[in-house]
Structure 1
Amino acid sequence: MDDQQVLSRIDDLVKEEEELLHRHEGEGLSSEDHARMEELKVQLDKAWDYLRQRRALRQYGDDPDDASERDGGTVEEYGTVTQYDDTDADAPA
């Protein structure tokens, strides 16, 4: 899948997400629609991750076709950020 195809996929997913939200505006989402929204979020994260991989490979002179789509669990873990503590307990006061 080339960059344009990935961008087209992202656009399609965003459109579906917006349609789903507008269809239920003011009434909330059903449990099925809520599950679909979560799936769309994962699919979008995967598509953006794949596109970033392709761009990074190209930037450093490698073949963007060597990029691989990661599974949803891996991509979703990227959103889990551990807060960095830069205080040094051993530093003199």
Structure 2
Amino acid sequence: MDDKTILDHIHALVAEEKDLRSSHAGHGLGGEGRQRLQHLEEQLDQAWDLLRQRRAKVEINEDPSTAQQRDVHEVESYLN
């Protein structure tokens, strides 16, 4: 997966997140909507993490294709 593919995926996730939020504006999200939003946020965090890994590898003259998508629990626990 290259940077463009990752960025395209990020843009698609952001668009879906925006649509989900706007379609429920004023009503709030129900259980299924909240779950979908959480999943989108996790996928976004993973995609951004992968993109940062790839860019860091380029900076230190390593092959960016060796970057690996990390488990959602690992990515989400960075702030804890």
Task: Give the TM-score taking structure 1 as reference length.
Answer: 0.85
Q: How far apart, in 2, do the equivalents of 1:57 and 1:64 lie?
A: 5
1:56 aligns with 2:56: yes
Aligned to 1:23: 23
Q: For the pair shown, which has the larger CA radius of gyration, 1 or 2?
A: 1
| Cα deviations by residue, 1:7-63 (Å, 9 ceiling, x for unpaired) | 000000000000000001100101000000000110000000000000000110000
The residue identity in structure 2 corresponding to 1:32 is E
Q: How far apart, in 2, do the equivalents of 1:79 and 1:19 lie?
A: 27
Q: Which has the higher contact order (CA 8 A, sep 6+)?
A: 2
Fraction of identical pairs, as percent: 46
The residue identity in structure 1 corresponding to 2:26 is G
Between the two proteins, the alignment pairs up a number of residues equal to: 80
Q: How far apart, in 1, do the equivalents of 2:9 and 2:74 lie?
A: 20
Structure 1: 5+ residue runs without aligned partners? Answer: 81-93
Larger helix percent: 2
Structure 2: 5+ residue runs without aligned partners? Answer: none
